[in-house]
């Protein structure tokens, strides 16, 4: 049984953050004692990958551009062939969670060091979790061996991340923070990280939407993503993550967007079990209060918002144009019962007991996209 008040695992990554930090990537490779990098470039980031290649110079011995979503094992094997042909001694990856996933999959097979330059807010670069897909089945495992040795956060690499991806990915990061706050082992460090992540991202999202290239909002987003990644690494995730894993793995729904459509409804489901956590979340989210036009009723809305974290999360996602329904993401309504059954097939910790009928109601609401 559980005998601790809280538990915390730290992973030995070196993290640098700033503007133009891509210029330090060769230093990071050399600091690890490496000199033959395989460069992994995610889709739609080839210009950023060219910059990384230029900084690495002759220390980049090969480049692999074939990154795919959900880390298919066949793609990993193709990259592994390139890695071996060129005798690479480390992996440098620039891209989102899919690209980081490939770097981790290579590290799991070779033990090579990884240097990651994230371009989304997924947070995978901070975690010991590796998800892989084989024959249409996505499985995850957790091992300290896949934690990247170095992470180079360069705000400049995120300035051109399209707004709709930025919003969904930002809410994906907030989902890590929300679930960490009600995790059984949540430590003071993870709690502080989660609340800061929520307020940074909530405060930045509306500014990002009105000025996508604004560096201050982008820096807040990436800071929030890093802190949310620590939450994901160091606290057990619950219903939100299990459900989105099922919807992505078995129904092909997009990862970050699904998190956005589901999060307000999972919060509403869990709220009765953890009212104090919801009050903390609402307070953190109120960083967005002066920045967005709340839907009616106007006037006294702010005071009621503090008692309504799930509704507040829904309104924030709505105000920044994020996905609000599983319907718009392509889930068929007749798949709701199957999804509820799959997501309750094995028990897992969650603040409120998860029942198949309860989950079906939650999924119907998320499918319609009604305000919880």
- Among residues 25, 42, 117, 288, the one that binds ligand NAD under rule CB under 6 A: 42
29 binds ligand NAD (CB under 6 A): no
Task: Kindly state the number of chain residues that form the binding site for ligand NAD, as judged by CB under 6 A.
Answer: 30
Burial 131-141 (b: 16+ CB within 10 A, else e): bbbeeeebeee
240 binds ligand NAD (CB under 6 A): no
Show the site string, 173-192: x = touches ligand NAD by CB under 6 A, - = not. Answer: --------------------
Nearer to ligand NAD, 42 or 203 (CB): 42
- The rounded distance, in Å, linking the Cα atoms of 102 and 70 is 9
Residues 216 to 235 in contact with ligand NAD, rule: CB under 6 A: 232
Rounded to the nearest whole angstrom, what is the least distance from the CB of residue 164 to ligand NAD in the complex? 10
Nearer to ligand NAD, 59 or 98 (CB): 98
Residues 244 to 273 in contact with ligand NAD, rule: CB under 6 A: 255-256
DSSP states along 112-141: -EEEEEE-SS--GGG-SEEEEEETTEEEEE
At residue 326, the 3 state secondary structure works out as coil
Rounded to the nearest whole angstrom, what is the least distance from the CB of residue 122 to ligand NAD in the complex? 4
Alpha-carbon distances of 104 from 61, 67, 172, rounded to whole Å? 19, 12, 20
- Among residues 69, 156, 236, 360, the one that binds ligand NAD under rule CB under 6 A: 69
Nearer to ligand NAD, 108 or 292 (CB): 108
CA contacts within 13 A on the Cβ side of 291:
22
Q: Report strand pairing: 150-154 vs 113-118.
A: parallel
Instruction: State the burial class of residue 359 (Cβ atoms within 10 Å of its Cβ: 0-12, 13-18, 19+).
Output: buried
CA contacts within 13 A on the Cβ side of 309:
25
Nearer to ligand NAD, 13 or 130 (CB): 130
Show the site string, 303-342: x = touches ligand NAD by CB under 6 A, - = not. Answer: ----------------------------------------
- Among residues 38, 49, 76, 123, the one that binds ligand NAD under rule CB under 6 A: 123
Nearer to ligand NAD, 22 or 268 (CB): 22
Nearer to ligand NAD, 122 or 197 (CB): 122
Contacts 24+ apart (CB under 8 A), 81-85: 82/38, 83/38, 83/110, 83/112
Burial 298-330 (b: 16+ CB within 10 A, else e): eeeeeeebeebbbbbbbbbbbbbebbbebeebe
Rounded to the nearest whole angstrom, what is the least distance from the CB of residue 307 to ligand NAD in the complex? 31
Contacts 24+ apart (CB under 8 A), 338-344: 339/243, 339/246, 339/247, 339/250, 339/251, 339/363, 342/246, 342/250, 343/242, 343/243, 343/246
List beta partners, residue 25.
none
Q: Which of 364, 371, 244 is nearest to 312 (CA)?
A: 371
Show the site string, 341-360: x = touches ligand NAD by CB under 6 A, - = not. Answer: --------------------
Nearer to ligand NAD, 66 or 357 (CB): 66
- Among residues 76, 124, 270, 350, the one that binds ligand NAD under rule CB under 6 A: 124
Please state the φ and ψ torsions of residue 338, each to the nearest 5 degrees: -65, -45
Nearer to ligand NAD, 98 or 199 (CB): 98
- In the block, which residue shows the tokens 């998320």? 366
- Among residues 15, 17, 31, 43, the one that binds ligand NAD under rule CB under 6 A: 43
131 binds ligand NAD (CB under 6 A): yes
Rounded to the nearest whole angstrom, what is the least distance from the CB of residue 15 to ligand NAD in the complex? 15
- The rounded distance, in Å, linking the Cα atoms of 23 and 29 is 12
Binding site residues, ligand NAD, CB under 6 A:
42-45, 69-70, 95-99, 101, 119-120, 122-124, 127, 129-131, 160-162, 165, 169, 172, 232, 255-256
């Amino acid at each position: 049984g559980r005998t601790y008040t809280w538990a915390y695992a730290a992973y030995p990554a070196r993290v640098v953050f700033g503007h133009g930090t891509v210029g330090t990537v060769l230093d990071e490779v050399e600091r690890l004692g490496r000199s033959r990098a395989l460069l992994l470039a995610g889709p739609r980031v080839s210009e950023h990958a060219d910059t990384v290649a230029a900084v690495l110079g002759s220390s980049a011995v090969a480049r692999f551009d074939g990154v795919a979503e959900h880390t298919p094992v066949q793609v990993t094997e193709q990259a592994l062939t390139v890695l071996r042909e060129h005798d690479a001694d480390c992996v440098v990856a620039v891209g989102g969670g899919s690209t980081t996933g490939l770097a981790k999959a290579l590290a799991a097979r070779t033990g090579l060091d990884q240097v990651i330059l994230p371009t989304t807010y997924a947070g995978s670069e901070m975690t010991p979790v590796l998800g892989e897909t084989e024959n249409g089945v996505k499985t995850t495992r957790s091992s300290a061996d896949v934690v990247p040795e170095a992470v180079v956060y360069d705000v400049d690499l995120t300035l051109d991340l399209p707004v709709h991806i930025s919003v969904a990915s930002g809410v994906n990061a907030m989902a890590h923070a929300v679930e960490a706050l009600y995790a059984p082992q949540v430590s003071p460090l993870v709690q502080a990280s989660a609340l800061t992540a929520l307020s940074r991202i909530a405060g930045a999202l509306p500014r990002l939407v009105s000025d996508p290239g604004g560096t201050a909002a982008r820096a807040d987003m990436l800071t929030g993503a890093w802190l949310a990644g620590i939450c994901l690494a160091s606290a057990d995730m619950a219903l939100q993550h299990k459900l989105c894993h099922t919807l992505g793995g078995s129904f092909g729904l997009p990862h970050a967007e699904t998190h956005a459509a589901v999060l307000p409804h999972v919060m509403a489901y869990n709220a009765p079990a953890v009212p104090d956590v919801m009050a903390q979340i609402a307070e953190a989210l109120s960083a967005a209060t002066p920045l967005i036009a709340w839907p009616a009723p106007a006037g006294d809305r702010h005071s009621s918002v503090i008692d309504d974290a799930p509704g507040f999360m829904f309104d924030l996602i709505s105000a920044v144009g994020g996905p609000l329904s599983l319907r718009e993401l392509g889930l068929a309504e007749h798949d709701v019962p199957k999804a509820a059954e799959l997501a309750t097939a094995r028990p897992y910790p969650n603040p409120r007991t998860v029942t198949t009928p309860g989950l079906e109601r939650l999924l119907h609401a998320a499918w319609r996209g009604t305000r919880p």
